[in-house]
Structure 1
């Protein structure tokens, strides 16, 4: 719970005690995670549990330090990524899935309750923004609100994850009914007041994915492959149609010019990619605005950005086409394995990794959350848990 909370509340922690304090927390957690893995090494079946795609992507990001133009900054960014990954691996190896769901649900409840409480205090009771936390105090006007996450999109992202988690908690009776209903209402309230068009699209995708998943679960086993292939075809056609009509989609979703801002940033990022298309500029994770290519991109769009607002473009920019192929493989295996796990296991708990991965990767089309902090942690956890039953290495002779 502490590791999940620390990864998701990075903005809050850094606002209160700065980067040194946040790094100290992560270092302490990594040391504890390492000690737990060592103590439980005899109880963990390692073969096939650690996805090669996760290890390969992390290794390539580490290798990019050698050709980065700011090697010390790049090394710091890679160590930050690796530390979060270690926490995710430790959680996935040492806890059952239901324990992870309950831990995540508890964290989401606390973080969203604190967020909505501070927004009420700032926007209604005191009527003053809490600038040091990035809270604008717009609660009385109906939003948008940011909570303790710094941006409305990250608040909305966490709220969608919380909705998925709390519904599964309620279905598995992991919490009392009153607490479950309260948690769902809290997450829905945060989602509504966040007013994020990005999160609205993600929520619609999750509704569709949930309906499709439970339709598959209710289909007889002998007919599931046909339905699975039909769903795969539908998703493929939808993605192609969305890309072909991307200009129209941007116009429809261009609430307050937000998508137009992203589109300009993506074009500028793509121009920077053309300079180093194979190996990239070096892994940094969160952008460093004082070094190339990030300084040039921000100058060209006239705004300060800490990411490309697109996880997939960010990967190509920082670790090139090779890194993108590795990350795409990581995502593909995580989706396929978690979806098959959710389709074939009777317990509804197994739907959690599939829906969380879909949420993370869908959000990645308009934010870079899957690459850093809480998004990266949850992606690693789900990838490792999904590989437990579907890794090809697990079937090798001992």
Structure 2
């Protein structure tokens, strides 16, 4: 196997592993999942060493974040669990640096086929459950109290119920489907998948609808607005773009205010409780817990480990135990305090900056260059009601797009965070390179 092919296989394995960790845990439990993660981390470190001359600079915020995760073991309640969580974060960061050696076009293709493969598998899984098997429980239950309440899927694909997919989580399925939709649409606009793109777009939309996730629905709106602004920026002058941007921002503010005033009626219409399905109480509990150590937190874990106190029973809803704060920023504050929040904010800003740099200076088709920024926006919106962007595929993409050198004095990046290739003109008629007829045509 050639080095390039091995890199592609590595990227596919890592993306699938971090995209559906719940599936692995449902099949072989936490211990088995830990073994598979250990193997992937070891492979990541080996690939990082073999490609040490090719990988980009990880970025100072990423280095500080990983360092903070390890250092927090000194004051954590369970130091060995914190070291496990930190090692997992290090492995994800190492894998992200290796994957960053792919060209942007290849990266988008690997993400496309990996996510669409998971969606196809999820659709088949739900069809089998709905027609022949019925509700499916996880193969592994462990020692979780009242484990009979945990279902992999309820098999309600044809009866109007929520679809859980291979991931065993409707919200995660919906978010992965949204990522797949962003990529499928970008590839269609770039002229890829000329005959099959409607299949991938329809499949993604169907999985989003089946997940019935309010968080994903709000994220879809944010992505639609962001995508429209990107298209406008390629078509109009800088001044006209800023007018459209501030008008859109004002419209969003008005919508948020109206939504807050009418939230109870909106929640009832969507079939949700006004307390965001218990999240308001969850956030209160997490804030109270955070006050015990507000500066440096209780120690890093990432995804809460159920055997570590008090996380195994901190958030309960009936017989169900939740292993996340359902908010990225509260989760960061709880685990590594205000210091961690500042570092994580810097990491987000760095990733966004690099994504904008790709749009401005990349050589690939404009639609494909927009994929990193749209994925990061989706993760940022999801982070208000879910902690998933902090772990697994969210962390991988964040470290991946944050990699790259600082900006030069001229304003451009010294090196792009991903190597790029030129592309063809696509459905929107964008040229594969940014137009250079004056400052008004540069994406800012």
Q: TM-score, normalised by structure 2?
A: 0.79
Name the structure 2 match of 1:211. 228
Judged with a 3 Å threshold, the aligned counterparts in structure 2 of structure 1 residues 204 and 90 are, in CA distance, closer, same or farther, namely same
Matches of residues 188-227 of structure 1 in structure 2 within 5 Å? 188-220=205-237, 223=238, 227=241
In the alignment, is the contact (CA less than 8 A) between 1:276 and 1:320 conserved in 2?
yes
**Which blocks of at least 5 consecutive residues in structure 1 are unaligned?**
none
SS of equivalent to 2:314: helix
**Which blocks of at least 5 consecutive residues in structure 2 are unaligned?**
1-11, 139-150, 416-444
Judged with a 3 Å threshold, the aligned counterparts in structure 2 of structure 1 residues 28 and 109 are, in CA distance, closer, same or farther, namely same
Offset, 1:336: 3.0
Offset, 1:198: 1.1
Q: Is it true that 1:29 corresponds to 2:36 in the alignment? A: no
Matches of residues 186-335 of structure 1 in structure 2 within 5 Å? 186-220=203-237, 223=238, 227-228=241-242, 231=245, 235=249, 238=252, 242=256, 246=260, 248-249=262-263, 252-253=266-267, 255-257=271-273, 259-295=276-312, 297-298=314-315, 303-335=320-352
Judged with a 3 Å threshold, the aligned counterparts in structure 2 of structure 1 residues 368 and 312 are, in CA distance, closer, same or farther, namely same
Equivalent of 1:173 in 182, 191, 194: 191
SS of equivalent to 2:272: helix
Q: 2: CA distance between counterparts of 1:229 and 1:67? A: 49
Q: 1: CA distance between counterparts of 2:185 and 2:371? A: 10
Name the structure 2 match of 1:361. 380
Q: 2: CA distance between counterparts of 1:120 and 1:184? A: 19
Q: Is it true that 1:62 corresponds to 2:79 in the alignment? A: no
Name the structure 2 match of 1:341. 358
Judged with a 3 Å threshold, the aligned counterparts in structure 2 of structure 1 residues 184 and 90 are, in CA distance, closer, same or farther, namely same
Offset, 1:216: 1.3
Name the structure 1 match of 2:132. 126
Judged with a 3 Å threshold, the aligned counterparts in structure 2 of structure 1 residues 345 and 27 are, in CA distance, closer, same or farther, namely same
Offset, 1:228: 4.9
Q: 2: CA distance between counterparts of 1:242 and 1:85? A: 35
Q: 2: CA distance between counterparts of 1:324 and 1:210? A: 28
In the alignment, is the contact (CA less than 8 A) between 1:286 and 1:307 conserved in 2?
yes
SS of equivalent to 1:256: coil
Q: 2: CA distance between counterparts of 1:188 and 1:23? A: 33
Matches of residues 71-150 of structure 1 in structure 2 within 5 Å? 71-92=79-100, 94-123=101-130, 125-126=131-132, 128-132=134-138, 134-150=152-168
Larger proportion of helix: 1
Structure 1 stretches of 4+ with a deviation exceeding 6 A read 391-394
Offset, 1:205: 0.7
Q: 2: CA distance between counterparts of 1:120 and 1:322? A: 47
Q: 1: CA distance between counterparts of 2:278 and 2:69? A: 28
Offset, 1:179: 2.2
The alignment covers a number of residue pairs equal to: 385
Offset, 1:282: 0.7
Q: Is it true that 1:14 corresponds to 2:28 in the alignment? A: no
Name the structure 2 match of 1:163. 181
SS of equivalent to 2:52: coil
Q: 1: CA distance between counterparts of 2:255 and 2:21? A: 36
Offset, 1:39: 3.1
Q: CA RMSD in A?
A: 2.9
Judged with a 3 Å threshold, the aligned counterparts in structure 2 of structure 1 residues 65 and 247 are, in CA distance, closer, same or farther, namely farther
Judged with a 3 Å threshold, the aligned counterparts in structure 2 of structure 1 residues 306 and 86 are, in CA distance, closer, same or farther, namely same
Judged with a 3 Å threshold, the aligned counterparts in structure 2 of structure 1 residues 17 and 260 are, in CA distance, closer, same or farther, namely closer
